[in-house]
Structure formats: C-alpha cells, structure tokens
C-alpha cells in the first residue's frame, strides 16, 4: 500500500498514559479502491462456500429420497 491510499489520524486520548483505563482513538481512511480490494475476495469466497453447502445438501436429500423408496 502506498501512502496515498491509507491515512491514519489520532483523534483523541482518554485517561493518562500508563493508567489501566488509558485509550487512544485513531481514524484510518482508505480509498474506495483499497476497500474493494479487501472486501471483494471475502464476498466471493463466502458465496462459494454457500453454493458448496447447497450442493452438499441437495446431494444428501437425493440420497435420502433414493433410500426411502
């Protein structure tokens, strides 16, 4: 990733550094292109897994129908 596609900005800080409740809030900005490069492979994979489940369920139901008759 190049520096133009990702921007990280510190937004705020809660508590004192070293304290148990200390938290730092950041904001990360990505270009739309980068978001699609991250998200699309997961969407395609999840569709593939869903289609595989449908095929397996159909095969199981066909086997059940064949054995019961």
Does residue 12 surpass a pLDDT of 90? yes
Asked if 31 contacts 3 with a C-beta cutoff of 8 angstroms, the reply is no
Beta bridge partners of 40: none
Percent of all residues in the chain with a pLDDT value above 70, rounded to a whole number? 68
> pTM score, two decimals?
0.40
Q: How far is CA 26 from CA 11, 13, 44, 60, in A?
A: 5, 9, 30, 49
Domain extents in the chain: 1-30, 32-69
Show the tokens assigned to 36. Answer: 């699609």
Higher-pLDDT residue of 9 and 58 is: 9
Closest CA to 30 of 4, 53, 65: 4
Q: What are phi and psi of 18, to 5 degrees?
A: 95, -15
- pLDDT tens digits, one per residue of 41-63: 988 888 887 776 666 666 556 55
């Amino acid at each position: 990733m190049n520096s133009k596609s990702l921007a990280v900005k510190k937004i705020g800080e809660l508590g004192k550094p070293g304290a148990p409740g200390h938290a730092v809030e950041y904001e990360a900005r990505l270009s739309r292109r980068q978001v699609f490069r991250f998200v699309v492979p997961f969407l395609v994979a999840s569709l593939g897994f869903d289609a595989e489940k449908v095929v397996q369920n159909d095969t199981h139901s066909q086997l059940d129908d064949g054995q019961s008759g």
